[in-house]
Chains A and B, each alone.
Chain A
Amino acid sequence: GENVEQHPSTLSVQEGDSAVIKCTYSDSASNYFPWYKQELGKRPQLIIDIRSNVGEKKDQRIAVTLNKTAKHFSLHITETQPEDSAVYFCAASKGTYKYIFGTGTRLKVLA
């Protein structure tokens, strides 16, 4: 069935270093890949997304890359700051139909 695997489950980095979170999806028809940040007790918030006709997208310190052939996509955060500490979820979908979420990555940025 449809599945999204996300790694690592936890990630600790020093402030200023980069963080990379990787996801693999199973449904080759997926064409939309959002990333959400969820702080403790709060709603998931969309931080960046990418569509299947694009290989890379950047927004300031955040970038997402997509490899459709391998069915991989990754989130890259550069110059990490303590406020980047949160749980990050990747998801895959076909348009805005159901999202299949990964299991989450708890990112800790150490000051």
Chain B
Amino acid sequence: DAGVTQSPTHLIKTRGQQVTLRCSPKSGHDTVSWYQQALGQGPQFIFQYYEEEERQRGNFPDRFSGHQFPNYSSELNVNALLLGDSALYLCASSRGQGDGYTFGSGTRLTVV
């Protein structure tokens, strides 16, 4: 069981650019949530996808968008990158209402 897989593991982008992060959920999981974790902070909820639709969204601007595919994998897109977007981006998958999240190892995004 591969667990939750995220790619890439590290990324460096320039202010104003756009970035796409990818996540493959754990086998059997159908729900994908994305979190932003700044250094020394707890993860902050960005949004959650279920049945290819955004089910819930946190307090993040519209520059943050996402998508879920029929195979349950997901993408996180961030447009017009700011220095403050530098963080670890965590993907978590879950199944229905029964289980807790399983987190991926994250993508470390650095905006310069």
Residues of A within 8 A of B (CB): 6, 32, 34, 36, 42-46, 49, 89, 91, 95-104
Q: A43-B4, A43-B106, A100-B45 are in contact. List 11 more A-B contacts (CB 8 A).
A: A43-B104, A44-B103, A89-B43, A95-B97, A96-B100, A96-B101, A98-B58, A99-B101, A101-B42, A102-B42, A104-B42
B94 at interface, CB cutoff 8 A:
yes
Residues of B within 8 A of A (CB): 4, 31, 33, 35, 40-45, 48, 55-56, 58, 90, 94, 96-106
Docked-complex contact B100 and A98, CB < 8 angstroms? no
User: What residues on B are CB-neighbors of A102 within 8 Å?
Assistant: 42
Docked-complex contact A96 and B96, CB < 8 angstroms? yes
State how many angstroms separate the Cβ of B29 from the closest Cβ of chain A.
Answer: 10
State how many angstroms separate the Cβ of A16 from the closest Cβ of chain B.
Answer: 28
* A44-B90, A89-B42, A101-B42 given; A34·B101 CB < 8 A: yes
User: What residues on A are CB-neighbors of B106 within 8 Å?
Assistant: 43
Docked-complex contact A42 and B100, CB < 8 angstroms? no
A-B contact pairs, 18 of them (CB 8 A): A42-B105, A43-B104, A43-B105, A43-B106, A44-B90, A44-B103, A89-B42, A96-B96, A96-B97, A96-B98, A96-B100, A97-B56, A99-B35, A99-B43, A101-B43, A102-B42, A104-B41, A104-B42
A49 to B94, CA, bound (A): 14
